Structure 1
């Protein structure tokens, strides 16, 4: 029992040391921030993200689907460039990140971000959903919020902490590999997936504020998810999904819009 207690306390101490927050709070949450588990270094995550981003672009280039210029690229890139000056509101260092966009000419209805501000859009999301610039800003703000909040780093840290706990528990209790794998499955359902849903919801709200500060209509975040709902299909139960349901997202965004509307109105008033 003593051996278990000492080891558990050591692991818990390591986890507590890794708790921090990457950004200030959002007006959508009343200015309240959230502590994050950040055991993995920012440099390590950025290096791995850049490696993946370069591999992705190299493969897309070889297939002739990498778009880095032209009218469609410029449209999306201009939205990103309009949002970038406002990232310092949440974290000053992010204003110095080398924000970069690539567009991949595929039917995929998706977009994603790598740590450090490397953003990928697919033409499918623009064309199939017939996105307005305000709706592109809603997608872009969401992806940029993931980077600002370092959700990739947080997710990797959560996985590392969970693996550590399972390893310690399995060794000390003498359980077999099958039981440990079963516990790992339980960890995924009880810890990893709900955290992923929380991160998605958080990115929705931070992205809503970011796009509003850049002068994009916050209501576009709702119309975006209305469009998403028409192409999403059944999708399975939310309990086993890493994404909140479209209905839950729209309700959360609609409730937050009054808080960001003054930012949008001020931005619009200041634009020519």
Structure 2
């Protein structure tokens, strides 16, 4: 069919324009410039500060200490960024890192991550998203999916194919559950791996990552079925971390031998 050729040509152009590789060797589609992403990161960070009050003192010093230890083992390009850290007053056990060098941690997370090693698990994971250009890949994948559906929709309409509206609705559901959500789950699992290695290289005990996700599970909060979620289940995350633990323990031992042993005082 002629419209199939159009879709194929579109997919080929996107693949050629934005082909890259993640830190774990996975092929990626990255169509946005890093300068644009850094600008978006700065805007999002500023907006977050407008929406939630920030906290200073011992809590900020603690989060800054853990973040600095992780940043110190990043590749030179990322390490030399002017990383900014904020602690936000919120009961949600959450944290984030944004392109451009921005880290935010909610006070609620400090109740779940009970020591520096568990906090490093989360901060390493969030910075792992930045290292792997997941924001770029996510936005690029959504743009490519929308473009492909637009081309197909226009082609179906021009051909006068009966039931084209129902076909487009089905394709939309297929894109959501077959492409976008699984892609996000793969990002989370990849960030777990990258973050585990980062925390270990920084001198934090990688075994604490298991305890952190056990704490997360015990903290409650229902999860949708894994196939409908943007995040793996807690059990899947723990299994993945355990599978990567041997390499992380080796990195941790090397860090200890090199004298990297953070001592960040919990508030």
TM-score, scaled relative to structure 2: 0.90
Residue 177 of structure 2: which of 170, 175, 189 is its match? 189
Residue 96 of structure 1: which of 80, 85, 94 is its match? 80
2:34 & 2:93 partners in 1: Cα distance? 29
1:93 & 1:105 partners in 2: Cα distance? 31
Which shows bigger deviation, 104-113 or 212-221?
Answer: 104-113
Q: In structure 2, what is the equivalent of residue 121 of structure 1?
A: 105
Unaligned 5+ runs, structure 1: 26-32
Deviations 1:178-235 (A, max 9, x none): 6434422220111000010000000000000000000000001100000001123331
Deviations 1:62-119 (A, max 9, x none): xxx212x31111001100001112111xxx4212222211100111111112112211
Matched, 1:53 2:45: yes
Q: In structure 2, what is the equivalent of residue 30 of structure 1?
A: none
Q: Secondary structure at the match of 1:86?
A: coil
1:8 & 1:78 partners in 2: Cα distance? 50
Matched, 1:258 2:254: no
Q: In structure 1, what is the equivalent of residue 14 of structure 2?
A: 15
Residue 111 of structure 1: which of 82, 89, 95 is its match? 95
How many residue pairs end up in the alignment?
254
Distance 1:57-1:179 versus aligned 2 partners, 3 A rule: same
- Aligned-residue Cα RMSD (Å) equals 1.7
1:256 & 1:262 partners in 2: Cα distance? 11
Which shows bigger deviation, 13-22 or 183-192?
Answer: 13-22
Matched, 1:79 2:66: yes
In the alignment, is the contact (CA less than 8 A) between 2:156 and 2:164 conserved in 1?
Answer: no
Matched, 1:240 2:223: no
Unaligned 5+ runs, structure 2: 158-162, 262-267
1:178 & 1:74 partners in 2: Cα distance? 55
Matched, 1:207 2:191: no
Q: In structure 2, what is the equivalent of residue 138 of structure 1?
A: 121
Q: In structure 2, what is the equivalent of residue 152 of structure 1?
A: 135
**1:165-176 paired onto structure 2 within 5 Å:** 165-174=148-157
Q: Secondary structure at the match of 2:104?
A: strand
Q: State the shift of 1:131 in Å.
A: 1.6
2:8 & 2:92 partners in 1: Cα distance? 46
1:130 & 1:187 partners in 2: Cα distance? 35
Deviations 1:14-37 (A, max 9, x none): 2211110253x3xxxxxxx11110
In the alignment, is the contact (CA less than 8 A) between 2:213 and 2:238 conserved in 1?
Answer: yes
1:239 & 1:55 partners in 2: Cα distance? 31
